[in-house]
Amino acid sequence: MKKLIIFLILFNFTNLYSSDLKFEKIFDDFNKPWSLSFIDKENVIITEKTGRLLTLNLNDRKAHEIKHNLSIISLGQGGLLDVLYEKRQVYISYSENRGNWETSTSVAKGSFNKKNIEFKNIFRAEPPIDSGYHFGSRLVIKENHLFITAGERGQGMIAQDFTKHPGSIIRIKVDGSIPKDNPKFKSKKEWLPEIFQIGVRNPQGMALSPFDNKIYLTNHGAKGGDWFGSANFAENYGWKILGWGGTNYSGTKIGPKWRSGFTKAIKYWVPSIAVSAMTIYKGTTFKEWNGNALIASLKDQSLRKIKFIDNKFLNEEIIFKGNIGRIRDIKIQKETGDLYMLSDNGSLWRMYK
Distance of alpha carbon 160 from alpha carbon 212, whole angstroms: 29
Q: Please check the confidence at residue 3 and state whether its pLDDT lies above 80.
A: no
DSSP string, 125-144: -SS-BS-SS--EEEEEEETT
Residue 7 domain-assigned (yes or no):
no
Whether 155 and 168 have beta carbons less than 8 Å apart is answered as no
Residue 5 domain-assigned (yes or no):
no
As beta bridge partners, residue 295 has 278, 304
Question: How many folded domains does the chain comprise?
Answer: 1
Starting at the edge strand found earlier in the chain, the sheet holding 89-97 runs: 80-86, 89-97, 103-111, 120-124
Residue 129: per-residue pLDDT: 98
Distance of alpha carbon 141 from alpha carbon 44, whole angstroms: 17
Residue 18 domain-assigned (yes or no):
no
Residue 10 domain-assigned (yes or no):
no
Among residues 265, 199, 258, 259, the alpha carbon closest in space to that of 228 is found at 265
Q: Count H helices and E strands in the chain, helices first.
A: 1, 25
Mean pLDDT, the chain, whole residue set: 95
Residue 13: per-residue pLDDT: 41
- pLDDT tens figures, 314-336: 999 999 999 999 999 999 999 99
Q: Please check the confidence at residue 16 and state whether its pLDDT lies above 80.
A: no
Residue 304, amino acid: R
Residue 20: per-residue pLDDT: 84
Structural domain boundaries, residue 292: 27-352
- pLDDT tens figures, 90-131: 999 999 999 999 999 999 999 999 999 999 999 999 999 999
| pLDDT bucket at 273, cuts 50 / 70 / 90 | very high
CATH assignment at residue 296: 2.120.10.30
Q: Region 323-352: what's the mean pLDDT?
A: 97
Residue 21 domain-assigned (yes or no):
no
pTM: 0.94
Residue 22 domain-assigned (yes or no):
no
- pLDDT tens figures, 277-305: 999 999 999 999 999 999 999 999 999 99
Among residues 161, 228, 211, 224, the alpha carbon closest in space to that of 190 is found at 161
- pLDDT tens figures, 199-211: 999 999 999 999 9
Residue 269 backbone zone (phi > 0: left; psi -120 to 50: alpha; other: beta):
beta
Residue 299 domain-assigned (yes or no):
yes
Q: Coil, strand, or helix at residue 108?
A: strand
Residue 6: per-residue pLDDT: 41
Distance of alpha carbon 105 from alpha carbon 274, whole angstroms: 20
Reduced 3-state DSSP string for 46-84: EEECCCCEEEEECCCCCEEEEEECCCECCCCCCCEEEEE
Q: How many CB atoms lie within 10 A of CB 63?
A: 15
Whether 240 and 261 have beta carbons less than 8 Å apart is answered as no
- pLDDT tens figures, 54-97: 999 999 999 999 999 999 999 999 999 999 999 999 999 999 99
Distance of alpha carbon 97 from alpha carbon 115, whole angstroms: 23
Q: Please check the confidence at residue 15 and state whether its pLDDT lies above 80.
A: no
- pLDDT tens figures, 28-41: 999 999 999 999 99
Residue 16 domain-assigned (yes or no):
no
Distance of alpha carbon 136 from alpha carbon 271, whole angstroms: 20
Among residues 209, 208, 255, the alpha carbon closest in space to that of 236 is found at 255
On the question of a cis peptide bond just before residue 33, with omega within 30 degrees of 0, the verdict is no
Residue 162: per-residue pLDDT: 98
